[in-house]
Amino acid sequence: MNNLNQFAGGVHYVGVNDRTTHLFEGLWLVPLGVSYNAYVVLGSEHTALIDTVDAEHATQLELKLQAVLNGRKLDYIVVNHMEHDHSGALPHICRCHPEATVVGNAKTAAMLDGYFGIKGVHTVADTDTLSLGPDCTLQFHLTPMLHWPETMMTRLVEQGVLFSGDAFGCFGALNGAVVDRDMNTDAYRLEMYRYYASIVAKYGVPVQTALRKLDGVQLNYICSTHGPVWHDQLAEVVQTYADLAQWKAEPGVVVAYASMHGNATGMAEHIAGQLAAAGVRNVVLQDLNVTNLSYVLMNIARYSGLVVGGPTYNTQIHPRVAALLEALKNSGMQRRVVGLFGGYTWSPGVTKKMAAALDGLKIDLLDTLVEYKQTPTAADLEAATALAQAIAGHIAL
């Protein structure tokens, strides 16, 4: 263990990196890999492991844990979140350390029994504490539906260290350093948008509730279960999360489209050109046929305008476009200006179907639906220009 793996007094990083998984949760591309973070707190009287890792990396975690314990026994295993990338190694760790007491809330206890048959959990309620010795107190903050029912955070009170579960996390394996002050975090900050937009966006209200629990609490480190430990950039990261939870965004437009024979691509390129001509500096074109959905959702989380388009497919919305619209509906997208375009050969009405797919969202859906038959005409391109200009006029440039 090198000194980069220890930060704050008695707090050690014992997480692992996964650089071989292709799809996180079987859905989201992770070309930069992903870290599964776990931490050890060494108090003068007791020790605690905060979260575990994916089951495939259980042996690696145990070796790191033994090195940090250095002959001391493990007294507690705190489970902040039950998803298997964090709890999968728990049965192995429990077998290696039968003396350790598993700590979680009541919902955690039920899941531990259901998944692993682990019983006898020491259950905690909101704001309960656990002493590891003088000046080494763990306090538990329940954060239900961030983003499972049992999620909670654990705070090392005296040192202002928050073990935050998946909150404030991001995709990307760690490359040597653990704390943000020791690395270039540019890629991680962008991957935080993608992680949030793909996995957490639906739970904006619980995120805001959790953030309110942290109001007035002095924090020096935020230790998520994915990505760097946040220290130097802690305030900025918390603000990013607060903005994401409220669907705040910077000026810009995502043009997301699918095409079969090139006409939708041409319309998307035309609209992008007109947005740029209207002064929109942040314009992102994303072809839904080749781009993993997580990258599209990431940019929709970042920018205030959205144009979605594509051809009719078997009289319905193109499947790639439908998947995006379903994801946006499921996430509860808000505070976006949205325009739609679509094409057809013999079955009109696709843009009305697209609009209906977004029904109920708190967005500004433009009334003008640009729909062209077969090859777009000059009049269709003029309508697309008007659409671009309308969106540009709605966002603060």
Domain locations in the chain?
Answer: 3-245, 250-394
Both tokens assigned to 149: 């029912």
Instruction: Give the DSSP per-residue string, 70-91.
Output: TTPPP-EEE-S--SHHHHTTHH
Q: What is the pLDDT of residue 9?
A: 85
Of residues 118, 150, 147, the one with CA closest to residue 226: 147
CATH topology of domain 3-245: Metallo-beta-lactamase; Chain A (3.60.15)
Give residue 1's pLDDT: 41
Report the distance separating Cα 370 and Cα 46, nearest Å.
65
Beta-bridge partners for 389: none
My answer on whether omega of the bond before 147 falls inside 30° of 0, hence cis, is yes
Cα 336 to its chain centre, rounded Å, is: 19
Q: How many CA atoms lie within 13 A of 352 on its CB side?
A: 5
Q: How far is CA 341 from the centre of its chain?
A: 29
HSE of 41, CA atoms in CB hemisphere, 13 A: 30
Counting DSSP H helices and E strands in the chain, the numbers are 12, 22
With left for phi above 0 and alpha for psi between -120 and 50, is residue 252 left, alpha or beta?
left
Identify the pLDDT of residue 3: 57
- The label of the residue with tokens 């043009």 reads 255
CB contact at 8 A, 293 and 331: no
Provide the pLDDT for residue 397.
58
Q: Which residues pair with 311 in a beta bridge?
A: 343
Class of domain 250-394: alpha beta
Can you say whether the dihedral through the CA atoms of 356, 361, 367, 370 is positive or negative? negative
DSSP string, 5-27: GB-STTEEE--EEE-S-SEETTT
Which segments in the chain show pLDDT lower than 70? 1-4, 397
Q: What is the DSSP letter of 179?
A: B
Helix (H, G, I), strand (E, B) or coil at 117: coil
Closest CA to 30 of 204, 230, 169, 231: 169
Summarize pLDDT for 218-269 with one digit per residue, the tens.
Answer: 999 999 999 999 999 999 999 999 999 999 999 999 999 999 999 999 999 9
How remote is the C-alpha of 241 from its chain's centroid? 10
Q: What does pTM read for this prediction?
A: 0.94
What confidence tens digit (pLDDT) does each residue in 20-73 have?
Answer: 999 999 999 999 999 999 999 999 999 999 999 999 999 999 999 999 999 999
